[in-house]
Amino acid sequence: MKQQLQDALKTAMKAKDKIALETIRGVLSAIQYEAMEKKVDELPADGISTVLQRELKRRKEEVDFAQQAGRPEMIEKLHAEIAVIEGFLPKQLPAAELERIIVELKTSTPGLNMGGAMKTLKEKYGGQYDSRAASDLCKKIFG
């Protein structure tokens, strides 16, 4: 996955795509920082996916702040960065599919609680869903 990011960086340089270039550089920097924090040479694919999810979440939060501040140019830039990052993440599960999976987990495993469901989701579908949406669905389903 890191190689894919580095290839995209080269493509963005050649195309002179400033937003993609800045975004990919920032993500690669965050990946390198995470690797240093964990004292490893290379992050595994799931570690890179976690960093991508974190960067995506950070930008979505920044969109909210930019809307409150009334900064449309910043909102536009952040949406472009979000699109770049989403291009490297695995395909996200739609809300209906996520709900179906959670309901199936509850019916197939009697005695399963919300924490167990979230753990199973992370193990089987890590990086393929919005954790906030999954948490809200679990609260609704597990009551």
pLDDT digit string (tens) for 69-78? 999 999 999 9
Task: Report pTM.
Answer: 0.71
Residue 126: pLDDT over 80: no
Give the residue among 59, 39, 117, 49 at the shortest CA–CA distance from 89. 49
Q: How confident is the model at residue 26 (pLDDT cuts 50, 70, 90)?
A: very high
Q: Could you tell me where the DSSP H helices lie in the chain?
A: 2-15, 18-37, 45-69, 72-86, 95-108, 114-125, 131-142
pLDDT tens-digit map of 32-77: 999 999 898 888 877 888 888 899 889 999 999 999 999 999 999 9
Give the pLDDT confidence score for residue 80 in this predicted structure: 95
Alpha-carbon span 143 to 141, nearest angstrom: 5
Residue 14 has pLDDT above 90, yes or no: yes
For residue 59, the Cα-to-chain-centroid distance in whole angstroms is: 10
One DSSP character per residue, 22-35 reads HHHHHHHHHHHHHH
**What is the Cα gyration radius of the chain?**
18
Q: Is the pLDDT of residue 119 over 90?
A: no
- The C-alpha atoms of residue 23 and residue 85 are separated, in whole angstroms, by 8
CA distances from 21 to 8, 42, 53 (A): 8, 22, 18
CB 105 within 8 A of CB 120: yes
pLDDT bin (cut points 50, 70, 90) of residue 19 is very high
- Average pLDDT of the residues in 94-121: 86
**Residue % of the chain over a pLDDT of 90:** 38
Superfamily of the domain at 2-86: Uncharacterised protein YqeY/AIM41, N-terminal domain (1.10.1510.10)
